[in-house]
Amino acid sequence: MTSIAFIGLGNMGGPMAANLIRAGHSVTGFDLSPASCDQARNDGASIAGSTADAVRDAEVVVTMLPAGKHVLSVWTDILPSVKEGTLLIDCSTIDVESALKAHVMTREQGRNLLSLDAPVSGGVGGARGATLTFMAGGAKPAFDRAEPILSKMGKKVVHCGEAGAGQAAKICNNMILGISMIGVAEAFVLGEKLGLSHQALFDVASTSSGQCWSLTTYCPVPGPVPASPANNGYKPGFAAALMLKDLKLAQEAALGSGASTPLGAEAAQLYALFNNAGHEGDDFSGIINFIRGQKG
Ligand code: NAD
């Protein structure tokens, strides 16, 4: 049993912490939201009065927070209070620069602290079912200590490289996802105009070179993939607001590193328009309705 502090018990962090408890670990949690704390208490966590109190006796600290500024603020608060040798893991999706800063802040403390950036793919369903994919960045000793803990919350844990590599993998993956969803949506909209049924296009593309996750697992039209959000009024799933967040992180990283990502930039613009039209809370595959409404 490992003593784990878990900070950020929201839609993702709450069920992830519950899976650690289910696996036999002792979890002390903290969240600014009383409702999230109540839920975690019901799941078997102890709730601390502050972030610093939560981490004092922990061997491992996990954070699952909205953005880089929250992570840096929480890590600034907790680093002076963690024990010698503590492993800190940030599972939030944040910008690469903030992730690197968190690693540096940890190293500057000395005291044999270890740090890992380990964002996830798989959404709320994956968090509940412990089927997340973790993409980790950090030194090998940090990864080796984290791997048995992370594997209780996910089905796959990949060591992507040194500090920041987990966040880099996450935004590259989600840039593929945003672009591919738009590509699949455009193909269905064009097929409709050409008199092609959704099922016919699906049957061909899902077994041809157009095959991809956005088509075969998350099909943006109702019918061919019964479990996709298109069959459920485009309820998330993965909200358009989070897709836009990740596409913006990819664009920030592209700008900072000098990478050319023209389709990533276009996808970010389209998702910004979709969000601004009041669809932040819709599943990101709902972009097909927005595309259908555009003039050709
Ligand atoms: P959420 O808003 O449900 O949860 C974040 C929690 O952090 C909230 O409960 C909030 O009260 C808490 N919080 C904020 N500042 C805090 C502080 N200073 N101290 C303590 N608690 C604080 O968000 P979420 O959906 O759980 O997402 C968390 C992270 O996971 C984000 O970075 C998101 O991009 C990423 N992510 C989300 C999904 C998804 O499908 N929801 C999928 C993959 C990755």
How many Å lie between the centroid of ligand 1 and the Cα of residue 7?
A: 10
Per-residue pLDDT of the chain (296 residues; tens, 9 = 90+): 999 999 999 999 999 999 999 999 999 999 999 999 999 999 999 999 999 999 999 999 999 999 999 999 999 999 999 999 999 999 999 999 999 999 999 999 999 999 999 999 998 889 999 999 999 999 999 999 999 999 999 999 999 999 999 999 999 999 999 999 999 999 999 999 999 999 999 999 999 999 999 999 999 999 999 999 999 999 998 999 999 999 999 999 999 999 999 999 999 999 999 999 999 999 999 999 999 998 77
Tens-digit pLDDT profile for residues 227-261: 999 999 999 989 999 999 999 999 999 999 999 99
In whole angstroms, what is the distance from residue 87 CA to residue 71 CA?
15
Contacts of 157 (CB under 8 A, 6+ apart): 118, 133, 134, 136, 146, 147, 150, 151
In whole angstroms, what is the distance from residue 282 CA to residue 296 CA?
24
What backbone torsions phi and psi does residue 192 show, to the nearest 5 degrees? -60, -45
How many Å lie between the centroid of ligand 1 and the Cα of residue 189?
A: 34
In whole angstroms, what is the distance from residue 63 CA to residue 16 CA?
11
The complex's ipTM works out to: 0.99
Which residues face 194 on adjacent strands? none
Q: Is the CB of 74 under 6 A from ligand 1?
A: yes
Asked if residues 55 and 5 have their Cβ atoms less than 8 Å apart, the reply is yes
Q: Which amino acid is at 197?
A: S
pLDDT for 123 equals 87
- How many Cα atoms sit within 13 Å of 27 on the Cβ side? 30
Which residues face 60 on adjacent strands? 4, 87
Q: Which of 6, 7, 9, 12 to mutate to test the pocket of ligand 1 (most atoms within 8 A of CB)?
A: 12
Indicate if 170 belongs to the active site: yes
Q: Is the CB of 229 under 6 A from ligand 1?
A: no
Q: DSSP string spanning 189-217?
A: HHHHHTT--HHHHHHHHTTSTT--HHHHT
How many Å lie between the centroid of ligand 1 and the Cα of residue 253?
A: 21
pTM: 0.95
Asked if residues 148 and 216 have their Cβ atoms less than 8 Å apart, the reply is no
In whole angstroms, what is the distance from residue 155 CA to residue 149 CA?
11
pLDDT for 279 equals 97
What backbone torsions phi and psi does residue 15 show, to the nearest 5 degrees? -65, -30
Q: Is CATH 3.40.50.360 correct for 3-162?
A: no
Which CATH number is associated with domain 168-293? 1.10.1040.10
For the chain, the structural domain boundaries read: 3-162, 168-293
Q: Which candidate in 170, 235, 245, 248 is catalytic?
A: 170
Q: Is the CB of 66 under 6 A from ligand 1?
A: yes
Residue 110 vs residues 35, 60, 86: alpha-carbon distances, Å: 36, 16, 11
Alpha helices in the chain (DSSP H): 13-22, 34-42, 51-55, 68-78, 96-109, 123-129, 140-150, 165-193, 198-205, 213-216, 240-257, 262-274, 287-293
pLDDT for 207 equals 98
In whole angstroms, what is the distance from residue 22 CA to residue 17 CA?
9
Asked if residues 175 and 150 have their Cβ atoms less than 8 Å apart, the reply is no
Q: How many CB atoms lie within 10 A of CB 175?
A: 23
pLDDT for 179 equals 98
Contacts of 278 (CB under 8 A, 6+ apart): none
pLDDT for 237 equals 87
In whole angstroms, what is the distance from residue 25 CA to residue 167 CA?
26
